[in-house]
Amino acid sequence: MPKNYGGGMPNLGGMNMNNLMKQAKQMQKQMEEMQAGLEEKTLEVTAGGGAVKVVINGKKQIKELTLSQDVVEPDDIEMLQDLVIGAVNEAIRQMDEQVNGEMSRLTGGMGLPGGLF
């Protein structure tokens, strides 16, 4: 165990624990601000050449789903279902990509495990 002669936090291998704690608190604050902004962030994705449109927010909540009348075929409900599923899945994938990009930028590529803060 490192000796602590100065009365403050120990210096571990050149890393001052006080500085490390300050950085962690600052990063936690930035993460909280980013998470709060996720509800306001939206992404629009289309499928079937624009026949299905999905708007999703950063918390992966579908905010809008629009279907073109041209794609509503009572005899081919399966095609419509496939288009909706495809659009929703693509919207989720793209939002995950954006959020992960912001998270990497925030953590500076530190390789921290998800959910740490």
Is the pLDDT score of 106 beyond 90?
no
**Is 100 inside any structural domain?**
yes
Is the pLDDT score of 3 beyond 80?
no
- Which residues are registered as beta bridge partners of 12? 15
User: What is the pLDDT averaged over residues 53-71?
Assistant: 92
Q: What are phi and psi of 95, to 5 degrees?
A: -65, -40
**Is 65 inside any structural domain?**
yes
Q: Give the pLDDT score at 56.
A: 93
Percent of the chain at pLDDT above 70?
79
Q: Which residue has the higher pLDDT, 38 or 62?
A: 62
If residue 29 lies in a helix (H) or strand (E), which one and from where to where?
Answer: helix 17-37
Cα-Cα-Cα-Cα torsion 111, 113, 114, 117, nearest 10 degrees, comes to: -100
Domain range for 75 is 42-104
CATH code where residue 56 lies: 3.30.1310.10
**Is 7 inside any structural domain?**
no
Query: What is the total count of domains within the chain?
Result: 1
**Is 66 inside any structural domain?**
yes
Is the pLDDT score of 117 beyond 50?
no
Let me know: does 83 contact 42? Beta carbons within 8 Å.
Answer: no
- What's the whole-model pTM score? 0.64
Q: What tens digit of pLDDT does each residue of 13-61 get?
A: 556 888 888 888 888 888 888 877 777 889 999 999 999 999 999 889 9
**Is 90 inside any structural domain?**
yes
Residue with tokens 């992404």: 43
